[in-house]
Amino acid sequence: MDKLFVIRTLQQPGVQEELAERGALCAGAGAVSGLVTAAVRGYRVSTAAVIGSAGFVLAGVPFFALQRVFQERRQGVQDPWNSVLAGAFVGWFVGLGISGPGRCPQSALTLAALCGAVHWSLSTVGHWRQRTPASSSAAVRNETESFQWPEWLPIQPVRPGYRPPHVELAELVAKRASLEEELRERRARLEHERGAEPASPCDCSPK
């Protein structure tokens, strides 16, 4: 990877502003980490906050810059491999500065695995959050539209595009007359059956 490509990538519009924003986030995260360390181990608060903030910035800004460079080198592919490669580079130099050359491979592998896992987790969660509401709403919409209310129910839901069936007045009158005739026949049949029942014998014996 030549230096000219790296410089040209970092000079693209919006890249430096993005790195500045992420550097500020790294500084804030480092300051919070320093405060927690000072509270746990009893260090001086100001010193711990400054050291934590500087450490996060010195590691975070190169990481995000290298991540963008690898993304451009791979023709805009955004996947965890960009974070793995950037984490390996940053981990190598972090190990070199803290523990010497002997710990560089271990530090590079550790930070590469950590950065790749975090990138994969965040991308998976983001992808899931983008798809779940849409798929859930689509499934609910399909299930709602496919549900049919019984025709005999007097109250029907009003759906977009729903048109109730057109019924002629003469047809309604005929149905009503048919129902009334059926009720009269049933009533007459019941009265006939009641009249045909034998009378119960009367017990007239003296007591």
Helix, strand, coil: what percent of the chain each, to 5?
75, 0, 25
Q: Based on the domain organization, do 46 and 88 belong to the same domain?
A: no
Task: Tell which of 104, 125, 146 closes a domain.
Answer: 125
Q: How far apart are CA 69 and CA 75, in angstroms?
A: 10
Q: Of 40, 31, 102, which is closest to residue 60 (Cα–Cα)?
A: 31
- Position 32 scores a pLDDT of 92
- Position 158 scores a pLDDT of 63
For the record, the structure tokens of 155 come out as 């109250």
Number of domains in the chain: 2
- Position 155 scores a pLDDT of 65
Tell me the three state secondary structure of residue 167. coil
- Position 164 scores a pLDDT of 59
What is the chain's Cα-based Rg?
Answer: 41
Any domain includes 196? no
| Angle CA 106–5–100, to nearest 5 | 20
Any domain includes 198? no
Residues 124 and 132: beta-carbon distance below 8 Å: no
For the record, the structure tokens of 40 come out as 């746990």
- Position 196 scores a pLDDT of 66
Any domain includes 53? yes
Q: Based on the domain organization, do 65 and 90 belong to the same domain?
A: no
Reported pTM: 0.56
State which residues of the chain have pLDDT below 50: 207
Expressed as residue numbers, the domain containing 95 is 79-125
**Single-letter code of the amino acid located at 188:** A
Any domain includes 22? yes
Q: Based on the domain organization, do 89 and 58 belong to the same domain?
A: no
